[in-house]
Amino acid sequence: MSASWTLALHGGAGTIAREAMSDTARAAHLEALHAALEAGAAVLRDGGSAEEAVVAAVVALEDCPLFNAGRGSALSAAGTVEMDAALMLSNGRAGAVTGVRRLRNPVLAARAVMRAGGAVMLAGEAADAFGEAEGLATAPPAYFETPQRRAQLLAARRAGAMALDHDGGFGTVGAVARDRAGRLAAATSTGGMTNKPPGRVGDSPILGAGTWADAVVAVSCTGTGEAFLRVAAAHEVSARMRHAGQPLEVAAGQVIRREVPAAGGRGGLVAVDARGNAALPFGTPGMYRGVARAGAAPWAAIHA
């Protein structure tokens, strides 16, 4: 099926037990997904670019404390917020930041890196300073941290493990889009995994691992980042389509159901191809996700 524009987004894949979620919580989560879908869809409906649409959708999810990106980011083992984000377009332009602590919207910093030209990725304090110099909004640590994230860190410390933030909470966010002009874009933003070692970088900001866009497909991943890194998950979707001739649904499904588990991980992704088809496979009980396309009602869901 093709459409003149398509937007798909995720708010993380994890073990979100259906019975553990109250009706009120469920409604709040779906409402947040619909608000982010509308932020991106409004851009595409008006003829705006896939780039603008994915950034608008991701900013909405970063600003929502329910998701593990921007406000409400997961906490590292040191109790700090260290956020990663990436943006990539089908024309090959890309920008990424990793380990930022002050920028309210890391995806805007990724876009600023892309627009500045030169470097594709900036890390740590230098990335924060770059964003500030670009006029991006900053916030103190208290803005990013929520009581839920602190509780998750304490639980992960007790378990002595690094945890997928959305095991019981909310996850990494991302969006992919095809605009009316046929351009594709992908963006991903995350606080990473709870109790991660300080300095740890997951798949989300790494082009080809958690985020990828080319002329064929745009992909944003979520899940145990180390496994997505090992199989270059996002790029693998494109490789399967380009070199093996697999349709989007097959390529995306095999990466999530075979390759990521074979590398010891789990999670999901959202992808949109050049014809406007969308795929949202996940290998977990749920993935916060949604799709909006020209001429159809927006759709969002949490469980299978």
172 counts as catalytic = yes
- How many residues sit close enough to ligand ASP to count as binding (CB under 6 A)? 17
Using CB under 6 A as the binding rule, the residues of this chain from 164 to 223 that contact ligand ASP are: 164-166, 171-172, 190, 192-193, 202-204, 210, 222-223
- Taking residue 87's Cβ as centre, other Cβ atoms within 10 Å add up to 34
98 near ligand ASP, rule: CB under 6 A: no
> Among residues 53 and 269, whose Cβ is nearest to ligand ASP?
269
Q: How far is CA 91 from the centre of its chain?
A: 20
Q: Alpha-carbon distance 222 to 283, whole Å?
A: 11
Q: How far is the CB of 200 from ligand ASP (least distance, A)?
A: 8
Q: How far is the CB of 236 from ligand ASP (least distance, A)?
A: 15
Catalytic: which of 6, 98, 172, 211? 172
CA atoms within 13 A on the CB side of 21: 21
Q: Alpha-carbon distance 291 to 301, whole Å?
A: 9
* Interface mask toward ligand ASP for 224-243; x: CB under 6 A: -x------------------
**Strand blocks (E) in the chain:** 6-14, 83-89, 94-100, 121-123, 173-178, 184-190, 211-213, 217-223, 267-273, 278-279, 286-293, 299-303
Q: Alpha-carbon distance 211 to 213, whole Å?
A: 7
Q: How far is the CB of 85 from ligand ASP (least distance, A)?
A: 11
152 near ligand ASP, rule: CB under 6 A: no
> Among residues 68 and 90, whose Cβ is nearest to ligand ASP?
68
Q: How far is the CB of 74 from ligand ASP (least distance, A)?
A: 7
Q: Alpha-carbon distance 145 to 276, whole Å?
A: 37
Contacts with ligand ASP by CB under 6 A lie at: 12, 68, 164-166, 171-172, 190, 192-193, 202-204, 210, 222-223, 225
Q: Would you please indicate which residues are annotated as catalytic (active-site) residues?
A: 172
